[in-house]
A and B are shown apart, each in its own frame.
Chain A
């Protein structure tokens, strides 16, 4: 545990599952997407990140999954300093995260079932165990009857649910969703948010970014608002 890297942390490490301290992110070209971002998330919390388009929501979530690296500052995930993580350690970090990103990145050459199987295959589960878990995950998102379907045959909302099934099939501690309700109509969006709530209720830490605050008004959850890369 890199104790010296957390001199600026405001709360103790043991209680936080995610902690940003003095995080800056400058993209090549000089654009500063995040400026002095500080916040912590406790295990089991559900946090929404809002902000206008280009505010830095996606960037913030990518820093947690080590898809991007902080230019300066410290990003701790489950006690691990992700801003200076070594490349070989990244896969093992990501196995504890369920990631749902904007461009869905489903694999179109295989069935819904095989898409959900992928994370289990990568971690070396036996086929029987993996198949059982994959069906359970598809069941949770209401796609069990579509397991043979190819992603191209699924509607936008169904594809989003398939992404969620793939993200939760490995039973991650942290679920990260980047605008999961974008381009879905209100009813569908509510169903998706309700799904995340149910995962949160069984102890999963959930971070969701959204630019539309309609689902938030109803739930009254914790909200972090980004404005031009800074937390309000």
Chain B
């Protein structure tokens, strides 16, 4: 056990010395990995922020309830009573079909269109204002009200909010694809680093095999090197993304004063940052594994 720990301490020390032996190359590698990771990571952070933003808009705090055409006066009264009795509904406003038509006719360009219609095509409707603009509450009330008799259609989100959520979904897919591709790039960079390292240490590997070093012993420092380089790259990616956010927020602050909003981009959280480091280290480990499997076992003393 102590010998095993000693091996690990030794391997780690070796790894650090190797990194320190060529600091420029090591930093450059970390930077390449960092930039490769920063692209999807930046996309992810932007999306997360947009999602937060869209969620604030998604529930404008109102639900439109459209009634079936056959709903009678007493049905309307009954629905009105039930809506008012629903917990979470702060205010209930009836918009009759005549009133709605009048409203449409006032809209520019719509008067002509409306004049061509013989009958009023609009249904009676209620507009329910929610007690709180929470998506959860909005969804729950939508479901509940759908079950009322003579209710034809309930609309919680406006169409553009649905479009935004569709765009967000598209963005998430794009970020996932980019992350997958650039993960391969990270694995490839590590593969190459380790290949070069194995080549420069060819003599040492041969001698080690000749004096009875096991494969596990010989490859250990390479795994440390690959994982550590990946982690440095992950760190670089986090720094790049956070710096970019700080810069963007300066511009946003200017916009915000114009629009009277206080929306700024959130920095990468600690959990997210640690996850990025772990992920990058794991990819480095993987690249090392592939490289070591391909190159290390070919070196045998002659």
| Chain A residues within 8 Å of B, Cβ to Cβ | 65, 67, 88, 90-95, 99, 101, 105-108, 118-119, 121-126, 166, 170
Contacts and interface: CB of A to CB of B under 8 A. Distances in A.
Given A88-B214, A122-B211, A124-B7, A107 B301 contact: no
Given A67-B300, A107-B204, A122-B217, A91 B3 contact: no
A67 B301 contact: yes
A65 to B, nearest CB: 8
Nearest to B200: A109
Given A94-B211, A118-B211, A124-B6, 9 more contacts: A65-B210, A67-B300, A94-B209, A101-B210, A105-B203, A118-B208, A121-B10, A122-B212, A122-B217
A118 B3 CA distance: 14
A46 B132 CA distance: 94
Nearest to A122: B213
B206 interface: yes
Q: Is the interface of B mostly helix, strand, loop or mixed?
A: helix
A105 B206 contact: yes
B4 to A, nearest CB: 7
Given A121-B10, A122-B217, A124-B6, A92 B212 contact: yes
B59 to A, nearest CB: 63
B300 A107 contact: no
Given A105-B207, A107-B207, A118-B207, A91 B6 contact: no
B203 A91 contact: no
Contacts of A126: 2, 6
Contact of B210 (A88, A105, A108): A105
Pairs A-B, 8 closest by C-beta atoms: A124-B3, A95-B212, A94-B212, A119-B211, A122-B213, A91-B212, A91-B214, A105-B207
Contacts of A65: 210
Contacts of B208: 118, 122
Nearest to A166: B211
Nearest to B3: A124
A164 B170 CA distance: 68
Interface string B163-201: 000000000000000000000000000000000000000
B73 interface: no
Contacts of A119: 211-212
Interface in B1-59: 2-4, 6-7, 10
B54 to A, nearest CB: 57
Interface in B205-249: 206-215, 217
21 contacts: A67-B302, A90-B209, A91-B212, A91-B215, A93-B212, A94-B210, A101-B210, A101-B301, A105-B203, A105-B206, A105-B301, A107-B204, A107-B207, A118-B207, A118-B211, A122-B212, A122-B213, A124-B7, A125-B3, A126-B2, A170-B211
Contacts of B215: 88, 91
Contacts of A166: 211
Contacts of B7: 124
Contacts of A92: 212
A97 B207 CA distance: 13
Contacts of A125: 3
Contacts of A99: 210-211
B161 to A, nearest CB: 62
A95 B300 CA distance: 16
Contacts of A105: 203, 206-207, 210, 301
A101 B206 CA distance: 12
Nearest to A68: B302
A88 B210 CA distance: 13
Contacts of A88: 214-215
A177 to B, nearest CB: 13
A28 to B, nearest CB: 13
Nearest to B214: A91
| Residue among A95, A108, A122 with the highest chain B CB neighbour number at 10 A | A122
B283 to A, nearest CB: 28
B14 to A, nearest CB: 10
